[in-house]
Chains A and B, each alone.
Chain A
Amino acid sequence: MSESKKVSLPVLGEVDRRTAVKAGAATLGLAAWAAAIKPWFEWTAELNTDEFLQKHYRELSPEQLQAILNRLTDDARKETGKAVTVKDHKPLPGVSFAYALNLSICIGCRKCAEACHVENNHDRPSHQSYIRVFEMQKGGIDFEKGDATYSHPVPAKDKYYMPVQCQQCENPPCVTACPIEATWQESDGIVVVDYYWCIGCRYCEAACPYHARRFNWEKPQVPAAEVNPNQSYLSNRVRPQGVMEKCTFCLHRTREGRLPACLEACPTGARVFGNVLDPDSEIRWVLENKRVFVLKEELGTKPRFYYFFDK
């Protein structure tokens, strides 16, 4: 039976089964290894080791943060050819922001949404904006009957208009939902996202009762000439792909004492913004003298975005 020892696989010629299995396993192993290390070969200028090993925003030392801001500024300048500055705006002490919107005055012109789109370097093809304006049937607040895609002269008969953006809740369900603390509330009430820490699981988007959060399915496309150069780390810098984004009350403006872009754009003056801790502020006057209400009060989110009617 000495001939039987010479039996081999027909394809492999003089190789026995054991060797063939070994070779096959080695090939599969190599393929798996290649797939595993593939991202290392795809590293580009957009992704470097500093970025890969970057810590959570709140764990960064001032020096580390400054280095990151410098790097982001350099990258943005290279990419756009504009004098972009990426700063880090800290909350102001003694400031707690609130926003109010007069539904009697709002005409639904979407100028606020457009201003947000431009100010916050939103993706151009998707017309992204943190503000969604609902055309609502007069007589109630029923979002099921609201329409955010209207395209006709406004205001239309028997309609009123309700712009909805992040309500900057005092009890934000999105923050609770985040499994990795990539989003949190700051001392002035603004809920922010660390775009580097966010893993894009979209739990926060599902948790938000106001649908205020957006996901970057793709890297936002903003023509270099249209990029707003006044940027902030937690706010309007051009977001990476695959992370959440949300309204920050334009913290890159408001933490410098300026008004949010949506307010400045409003042609009817329906929007009131300010520091609710300042008894002489406009927002305090509105809260004390108008019959304000919040959206979905029964959920206990305690929004700091108020709505009111004049009559």
Chain B
Amino acid sequence: MSVAGVEVVRKPAGPPVVPTGTVDEKGRPVTIACATCHATKPANPDARVGRPLVMFHQGLGGQHGNLSCASCHNPADGYASLRLADGKGVPYTDVMTLCAQCHGPQYRDYQHGAHGGMTGHWDLTKGGRARNNCVDCHAPHAPKYPTVFPAFGPNDRFQTGGGHE
């Protein structure tokens, strides 16, 4: 239950890990940290969003401006963090700081409750509220909100043409 006066912004999980598809003897999935591979491979500044990669991360597509991988992912610490425009690292959980660098108007609106949606209370003295972060709604590699099929439409007499109306 939400706590009065508290606005909780949902946070993404920490650094991504690569699933191997195998499990260890206790049944836990075996995953690989980014640095396992990237520690021995120099960063490729030419790799860009939407440009097919031939060796790893195959199939990773998307459309997000003209960003390169290193625009957002931090090679300095084996990609365990995100990278701000000034080269500083920022944890994955604080992804909004990264997004806000370019998407200032959206971040401003978000700070004033006019972007991103929320659930809970309008009156924070009566209860709390929960809010999305950027990547809850926008896939970072393809941030445009996807096309969806709408929920059911009206089925009243106006639409069906019969009955009393």
- Residue ranges of A at the interface with B (Cβ–Cβ < 8 Å): 100, 102, 105, 107-111, 113-114, 125-129, 132-133, 148-155, 214, 217, 254, 256-259, 263-264, 266-275, 281-282, 285-286, 289-290, 310
Q: Which of B28-36, B66-74, B125-133 is near enough to bind chain A?
A: B125-133
12 A-B pairs, CB-CB below 8 angstroms?
A105-B115, A110-B153, A113-B154, A126-B155, A127-B153, A149-B154, A257-B121, A257-B125, A258-B127, A264-B117, A269-B132, A285-B113
Q: Which of B115, B125, B126, B152 contacts A110 (CB 8 A)?
A: B152
Q: Is the CB of B159 within 8 A of A257?
A: no
Known: A110-B151, A126-B155, A153-B149. A269 touches B122 (CB 8 A): no
Q: Is the CB of A149 within 8 A of B112?
A: no
**CA gap between A35 and B112 in the complex, in Å:** 63
Quote the shortest CB–CB distance from B161 to chain A (angstroms): 11
Which residue from chain A places its CB closest to the CB of B148 in the assembled complex?
A109
Quote the shortest CB–CB distance from A33 to chain B (angstroms): 31
Determine which residue in B121, B129, B157 has the highest number of CB atoms from chain A within 10 A of its CB, and name it: B121
Which residue from chain B places its CB closest to the CB of A124 in the assembled complex?
B155
Q: Is the CB of A127 within 8 A of B152?
A: yes
Q: Which residues of B contact A102 (CB under 8 A)?
A: 114-115
Which residue from chain A places its CB closest to the CB of B119 in the assembled complex?
A264
Q: Is the CB of A127 within 8 A of B154?
A: yes
Q: Which residues of A contact B115 (CB under 8 A)?
A: 102, 105, 269
Q: Which of B116, B122, B151 contacts A259 (CB 8 A)?
A: B122
Q: Which of A133, A151, A259 contacts B118 (CB 8 A)?
A: A259
Q: Is the CB of A269 within 8 A of B117?
A: yes
**Other A-B pairs, 10, CB within 8 Å; known A113-B154, A128-B154, A149-B153:** A100-B114, A109-B148, A110-B151, A132-B154, A148-B153, A257-B122, A259-B122, A263-B118, A274-B113, A286-B112
**CA gap between A310 and B107 in the complex, in Å:** 13
**CA gap between A49 and B137 in the complex, in Å:** 54
Asked if B78 lies at the interface with its beta carbon under 8 angstroms from chain A, I say: no
Known: A266-B117, A275-B122, A285-B112. A150 touches B155 (CB 8 A): no
Which residue from chain B places its CB closest to the CB of A132 in the assembled complex?
B154
Q: Which residues of B contact A270 (CB under 8 A)?
A: 117
Q: Is the CB of B122 within 8 A of A273?
A: yes
Which residue from chain A places its CB closest to the CB of B129 in the assembled complex?
A259
Which residue from chain B places its CB closest to the CB of A271 in the assembled complex?
B117
Q: Is the CB of B118 within 8 A of A155?
A: no
Q: Which of A110, A133, A151, A267 contacts B137 (CB 8 A)?
A: A267
Q: Which residues of A contact B148 (CB under 8 A)?
A: 107, 109, 153-154
Quote the shortest CB–CB distance from A261 to chain B (angstroms): 10
Q: Which of A109, A128, A266 contacts B156 (CB 8 A)?
A: A128
**CA gap between A108 and B148 in the complex, in Å:** 9
Asked if B123 lies at the interface with its beta carbon under 8 angstroms from chain A, I say: yes
**CA gap between A149 and B145 in the complex, in Å:** 22
**CA gap between A87 and B112 in the complex, in Å:** 33
Q: Is the CB of A268 within 8 A of B137?
A: yes
Which residue from chain B places its CB closest to the CB of A108 in the assembled complex?
B150
**CA gap between A203 and B117 in the complex, in Å:** 36
Q: Which residues of A contact B120 (CB under 8 A)?
A: 258-259, 264
Determine which residue in B150, B153, B157 has the highest number of CB atoms from chain A within 10 A of its CB, and name it: B150
Q: Is the CB of B150 within 8 A of A154?
A: yes
Determine which residue in A111, A132, A272, A273 has the highest number of CB atoms from chain B within 10 A of its CB, and name it: A272
Asked if B163 lies at the interface with its beta carbon under 8 angstroms from chain A, I say: yes
**CA gap between A152 and B153 in the complex, in Å:** 11
**CA gap between A114 and B118 in the complex, in Å:** 17
Give 3 nearest A-B pairs by CB, closest first: A257-B126, A282-B113, A269-B117
**CA gap between A108 and B153 in the complex, in Å:** 11
Q: Is the CB of B151 within 8 A of A109?
A: yes
Asked if B41 lies at the interface with its beta carbon under 8 angstroms from chain A, I say: no
Determine which residue in B115, B117, B125, B145 has the highest number of CB atoms from chain A within 10 A of its CB, and name it: B117
Quote the shortest CB–CB distance from B105 to chain A (angstroms): 7
Q: Is the CB of A113 within 8 A of B132?
A: no
Q: Is the CB of B163 within 8 A of A217?
A: yes
Q: Which residues of B contact A272 (CB under 8 A)?
A: 113-114
Determine which residue in B118, B120, B145 has the highest number of CB atoms from chain A within 10 A of its CB, and name it: B118
**CA gap between A238 and B109 in the complex, in Å:** 38
Determine which residue in A128, A217, A259 has the highest number of CB atoms from chain B within 10 A of its CB, and name it: A259
**CA gap between A128 and B121 in the complex, in Å:** 26
